[in-house]
A and B are shown apart, each in its own frame.
Chain A
């Protein structure tokens, strides 16, 4: 059985069965990355475009490689070189690309809902690669896969997400995915970086990092956008690091075998210390590898592929 949807826009609207299908498929496809000849013919003749209105290294490259490993033709468009500079609307750009025959649009946009807007207006599939502060579903899926690989399960784990929850699409997608698969989720950050009514998503809310870390199985540290400080959302980088920076000493409150994750790119010495980022508990590079596997799974399943036994 495949994925019964045209688009992958977020984890909010996905069921646990669909999430598990993607994780299982990603796990099965992952071995391709380790082959000497990293190519299978599965998506030969399919074409994929990454349409990114925000800068990205990891996500865009990860999608491109995922497409290439499956033999799809991939094209990348970044706003600096597109007609956006000439004042073309998002919809016109996308319609023109669709007319060229692309099967899947992978969209990153600073506006929440932009991929949904395109999905409504295009016959092609749309994968949300990050929309404003809304969702970044493939990041959450790769995080879930990383956690599952370490613990063998997700249900019952305590996962603490730390940092700028307010502006984070990674946090929102992770919260949806983790809670749907039965994890207990805590979020922690300064009060000014917590979104309103976040507890209604079924998470526990902390401003005290030590309390949030106590007994945690997984710690997911979010990137702090340094320009938030200039907007006055917290007083100084120094105070932020002092209170919410994950250091080796503070991590001791978590479980001994705690898994440390970060979606990247990191601000070393701000939200996470190098000792932690590069330490034995860190799984940050494994996340990146899983990113390619998860994106292969999404492309494969959207283009009609079924479960891999």
Chain B
């Protein structure tokens, strides 16, 4: 959506708030407008998941002025629905067998998708990859049903360098699965896309840090 369309959507939101009777009929039309859900999801991420603060450190050891706590959205009722709806629309044309990702970021997303898929008469097989820093050696790392040789989509809430997602991919590849797509809620644009592309994975973030209005970092 461009800036003008965003403004129209803002006005629509205000109208909804002031005129609850309009809500139902407009929502009915909006059900067919994928952008409405995407826009609502973006607004929710900006409002509830984005933390601005200096002097913080990411898992890579790099300092950052902002943090995206994806779980503030994916564990919220509306956020869970919006996430599932937007991803469901993205994966509809894809030929795949299962969706999963690395705990903790992927957990609420795959749970929402499993439910959303069932309600929409397209059940989705989901799985979770344990994030185990190999303390206990070879233990079961995949929870849920993942048949060997499946075509899988990997999801996560936020990607920075892509390390966590590659960790999940390593595990599913041990099950001889083929990764057909990687989908994330927000790409922090710190090298993940380049890494995935160089390894031949198709990567589609729903939003980037630019969509959140973040342009500069410390």
A and B: partners? no
B residues within 8 Å of A by Cβ? none
**Which residues of A are interface residues toward B (Cβ below 8 A)?**
none
